[in-house]
Amino acid sequence: MRVLVTGGAGFIGSHVVEALTARGHEPVVFDVRADPGADVRDPDAVTRALAGADAVCHQAARVGLGNGVADAAEYVSRNDLGTAVLLAAMADAGVPRLVLAGSMVVYGEGRYACPRHGVVRPGPRAAADLDAGRFEPRCPDCGAELAPGLVGEDAPVDPRNVYAATKLAQEHLAAAWARASGGTAVSLRYHNVYGPRMPRDTPYAGVASFFRSALARGEAPRVFEDGRQRRDFVHVRDVAEANVVALEADAEPGALRAYNTGSGTPHTVGEMAAALAAAYGGPEPVVTGEYRLGDVRHITADSARLRAELGWKPEVQFDDGVREFAHAAMER
């Protein structure tokens, strides 16, 4: 297949390009980092790039938590307007296959169980609780401590910041395109992706990048809250393989299918910081008690659907991936 990869010069996109090439496909990179004229919001540029394409792997996006609502317009422009322009051009060109870089942020908090009330959905954490060091969500019915679990794709969506809202809107736009065009659409809801070529210390990088960047400066990684936040850290090469598998799959036409894309093995943020520091050679992490309002406490993936339906499974184990990442090159 000839596959247009938007964001193909970026962290995940560049690995997708390599994985496509290794499987005998022809990736075409569309990325402002490689070509300033390759803006996914430019209909003419997108139309030219789609010439001869059999599929699109849409990785281009502005990522990260953002700055409250101050940069909402920029997020909506890059993520949602850009996706709308791309989909309209795909419909005009008759390109029938789309794989979208989705995100676990669409869920808000993960899955929780109360010993008395079963599965519950706690609301956003209050600043007063976070200021007091009360980081764990409580049962909204009785206030009891909750047990976190793995979130499945059928969980209700609850985006809690601007970035999350734009990622959910991308899925809705892709679903509308699939229904209107008869195309196939897959959203891979990435969990915490890490690995070589990750962007270094920027406001829009993942927590693993902040830790690795601090170590490179000779500083201790700063771990927010109490470090016990649970995440699913998945290696970028496994994510790239998931994209290729999704592009090659016989997806249902006229609909969007979402898949959690994670390792399936939760680790705490503190564990990631400690493992990176040990692999790098120190200094040891510092737990600060700071927080970012809008962050969720626990979000870990049940990736069983992706394994069962598409035959994908992660190959890079956490310890091996962290050791590699501790000394891997990073991007500015």
- pLDDT, one tens digit per residue, over 122-173 is 988 999 999 999 999 999 999 999 999 999 999 999 998 899 999 999 999 9
How confident is the model over 20-34, as a mean pLDDT?
Answer: 96
- Over the chain, what is the mean pLDDT? 95
**How many Cβ atoms are within 10 Å of 129's Cβ, its own excluded?**
14
Residues annotated as catalytic are 163
Better pLDDT: 72 or 68: 72
Tell me the whole-structure pTM to 2 decimals: 0.95
pLDDT in tens, 286-304: 999 999 887 889 999 999 9
* Non-local CB neighbours of 186 within 8 Å, separated by 6+ positions: 98, 99, 100, 246, 249, 251, 256, 257, 258, 259
Helices 11-22 + 236-248 axis angle, to 10: 50
Q: Cβ-count burial of 276 within 10 angstroms (0-12 exposed, 13-18 middle, 19+ buried)? A: buried
Q: Residue type for 24, please?
A: G
pLDDT in tens, 170-224: 999 999 999 999 999 999 999 999 999 999 876 556 899 999 999 999 999 999 9
pLDDT in tens, 78-122: 999 999 999 999 999 999 999 999 999 999 989 999 999 999 999
Give the residue ranges of DSSP H helices in 94-228. Answer: 127-131, 162-181, 207-216
